[in-house]
C-alpha cells in the first residue's frame, strides 16, 4: 500500500508549479478544443517541437467546426513532420463526430469524450481535468518516472498496459480541488526537475516526500524493461520522371503514415538489390515499367519500433499506364508542387538533393 502524502505535498507541488511553470501557449486558454489539440500534439512529442505546430493549427482551424469542415489532406499537411499521423486522422474524425453528435461542444463527460476516436486514457484525463476540472489523474511518462521515485515503485515504466499501479498511485495523489493544475504540475515536475538521467533533487519541491531521495536510491529508479534490438528495414523508392513531371502516390488512409503522399517503392527482399527492388515495387504498385538511371541518396530514418535505410533512385518512365495496387491515388506533379502535399519526414530528407539534381539535369 502506498503511503498517502498529506496536503503538504500538494501544497508544495502546486506552489512550485505556480512560480516555475513554463509559459506555454496552451496554458493561456481554458478553451477545451485548444487544450485537446495541445494534448494530442504533445503525445510522444517534445514541447519545443509542438509549439509552432499548435499555433499554425489553431490559426487555420480555430474551432472544432473548422477542423471538421477541412479535408484530410489539409489537416495532414499542417501535421507534416510531427509524426504519428493517426493522431491527426483520429482528431479529424472525432471533430466530425463532435459536430454531428455533440452540438460542436467538446463533451464535458469523461466516458463520452473517452469514446471518441484517438482519445485514450491520457488524453481523456488531461482534457477533462484541465478544461473541465474533473478529478481524473493523468499518467504519462513524466508522471510515471516521478511516481516511481517517490514511492520506490518496482513496476517498469515502459511496460504496456495500465494495470501496473501507476494510475492508482496517481489517483491517490491527485488534488481533488485543483486536478488540472495538479496534473500539469506533476508532468512539469518530471519535465523540468525529475528528469530521466539528471534529476535536480537539490531544488525539488517534494524532496522531503521522495523515498528514492531519502533512501539515496534515485539512480535505481525508474525500473525499465530491456527493449529488443530495433530491426532495420532496407527500402527502395523511385522518383519516376516523365518529361518535367514526377510520380507520387497516396498511402491508404489507415496505418503507419496513412493518408500521406510518397514516392512509390517498398521493402527490398532477401537476395535482391535495392535497384531490383525499386523496379519490382514500382511495377507491382503502379503497373509502370521504369528504368533506374542512378541512385540519388540513402536516407536513414527511425520510427518508434524500427529503422529504415531508404535508397532513393532517379528513374525514367518507360511504358505503361498507372494501375494502382496498394496506393489509393497518384499524381504526376512538377517538383514545385511538392509543398501542396503532405509527405513523410524520410521523403523530405531527399527533397533538397532531388531539387539540385533536377536543376542540374535541365
Q: Which of 149, 179, 240, 313 binds ligand SF4 (CB under 6 A)?
A: 149
Size of the chain, expressed as the number of residues it contains:
362
Q: Say how far apart CA 104 and CA 102 lie, in whole Å.
A: 5
Q: Is the peptide bond before 222 cis (omega within 30 degrees of 0)?
A: yes
| Residue 150 touches ligand SF4, criterion: CB under 6 A | yes
State the cell numbers at 108. Answer: 464535458
Q: Are strands 307-319 and 261-262 parallel, antiparallel or unpaired?
A: unpaired
Q: Say how far apart CA 239 and CA 80 lie, in whole Å.
A: 20
First to last CA, the chain: 73
DSSP codes joined into one string, 22-56: ---GGGG---HHHHHHHHHHHTTS-HHHHHHHHHH
For ligand SF4, which is the closer residue by CB, 153 or 250? 153
For ligand SF4, which is the closer residue by CB, 70 or 191? 191
What is the smallest separation between the CB atom of 216 and ligand SF4, expressed in angstroms? Answer: 11
Residues numbered 273-292 forming contacts with ligand SF4, rule: CB under 6 A: none
What is the smallest separation between the CB atom of 327 and ligand SF4, expressed in angstroms? Answer: 48
Please count the CA atoms within 13 angstroms of the CA of 31 that sit on its side-chain side. Answer: 13
For ligand SF4, which is the closer residue by CB, 77 or 144? 144
Binding-site size, ligand SF4 (CB under 6 A): 14
Q: Are strands 265-267 and 232-242 parallel, antiparallel or unpaired?
A: antiparallel
Q: Helix count (H) and strand count (E) of the chain?
A: 14, 7
Helices (H), 262-329: 274-286
Burial class of residue 194 (count of CB atoms within 10 Å of its CB; 0-12, 13-18, 19+)? buried
For ligand SF4, which is the closer residue by CB, 212 or 235? 212
What is the smallest separation between the CB atom of 20 and ligand SF4, expressed in angstroms? Answer: 13
Is 80 in the active site? no
Residues numbered 65-84 forming contacts with ligand SF4, rule: CB under 6 A: none
For ligand SF4, which is the closer residue by CB, 36 or 213? 213
Catalytic-labelled residue, pool 39, 80, 285, 311:
39
What is the smallest separation between the CB atom of 358 and ligand SF4, expressed in angstroms? Answer: 53
What is the smallest separation between the CB atom of 254 and ligand SF4, expressed in angstroms? Answer: 40
Residues numbered 160-219 forming contacts with ligand SF4, rule: CB under 6 A: 193-194, 199, 201, 204, 206-207, 210, 212-213, 218
Residues numbered 298-317 forming contacts with ligand SF4, rule: CB under 6 A: none
Query: Which of the residues are catalytic?
Result: 39
Residues at the interface with ligand SF4 (CB under 6 A):
146, 149-150, 193-194, 199, 201, 204, 206-207, 210, 212-213, 218
Amino acid at each position: 500500500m502506498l503511503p498517502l502524502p498529506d496536503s503538504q505535498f500538494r501544497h508544495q507541488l502546486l506552489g512550485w508549479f505556480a512560480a516555475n511553470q513554463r509559459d506555454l501557449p496552451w496554458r493561456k486558454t481554458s478553451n477545451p478544443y485548444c487544450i485537446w489539440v495541445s494534448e494530442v500534439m504533445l503525445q510522444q512529442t517534445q514541447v519545443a517541437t509542438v509549439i509552432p505546430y499548435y499555433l499554425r493549427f489553431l490559426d487555420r482551424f480555430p474551432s472544432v467546426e473548422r477542423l471538421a469542415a477541412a479535408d484530410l489532406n489539409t489537416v495532414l499537411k499542417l501535421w507534416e513532420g510531427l509524426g504519428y499521423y493517426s493522431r491527426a486522422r483520429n482528431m479529424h474524425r472525432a471533430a466530425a463526430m463532435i459536430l454531428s453528435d455533440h452540438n460542436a461542444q467538446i463533451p464535458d463527460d469523461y466516458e463520452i469524450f473517452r469514446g471518441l476516436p484517438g482519445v485514450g486514457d491520457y488524453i481523456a484525463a488531461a482534457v477533462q481535468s484541465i478544461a473541465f476540472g474533473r478529478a481524473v489523474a493523468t499518467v504519462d511518462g513524466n508522471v510515471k518516472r516521478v511516481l516511481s521515485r517517490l514511492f520506490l515503485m518496482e513496476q517498469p515504466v515502459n511496460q504496456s498496459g495500465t494495470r501496473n499501479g501507476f494510475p492508482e498511485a496517481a489517483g491517490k495523489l491527485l488534488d481533488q480541488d485543483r486536478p488540472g493544475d495538479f496534473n500539469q504540475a506533476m508532468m512539469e515536475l518530471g519535465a523540468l526537475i525529475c528528469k530521466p538521467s539528471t534529476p535536480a533533487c537539490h531544488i525539488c519541491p517534494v524532496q522531503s516526500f521522495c523515498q528514492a531521495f531519502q533512501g539515496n536510491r534515485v539512480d535505481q529508479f525508474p525500473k525499465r524493461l530491456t527493449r529488443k534490438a530495433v530491426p532495420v528495414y532496407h527500402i527502395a523508392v523511385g522518383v519516376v520522371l516523365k518529361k518535367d513531371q514526377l510520380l507520387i502516390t497516396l498511402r491508404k488512409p489507415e496505418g503507419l503514415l496513412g493518408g500521406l503522399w510518397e514516392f512509390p517503392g517498398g521493402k527490398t527482399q532477401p537476395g535482391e538489390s535495392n535497384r531490383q527492388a525499386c523496379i519490382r515495387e514500382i511495377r507491382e504498385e503502379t503497373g509502370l515499367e521504369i528504368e533506374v538511371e542512378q541512385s540519388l541518396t540513402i536516407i536513414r530514418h527511425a520510427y518508434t519500433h524500427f529503422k529504415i535505410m531508404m535508397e532513393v533512385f532517379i528513374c525514367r518512365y518507360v511504358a505503361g499506364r498507372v494501375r494502382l495496387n496498394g496506393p489509393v491515388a497518384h499524381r504526376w506533379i512538377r517538383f514545385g508542387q511538392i509543398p501542396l502535399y503532405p509527405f513523410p519526414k524520410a521523403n523530405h530528407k531527399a527533397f533538397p538533393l532531388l531539387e539540385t539534381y533536377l536543376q542540374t539535369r535541365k
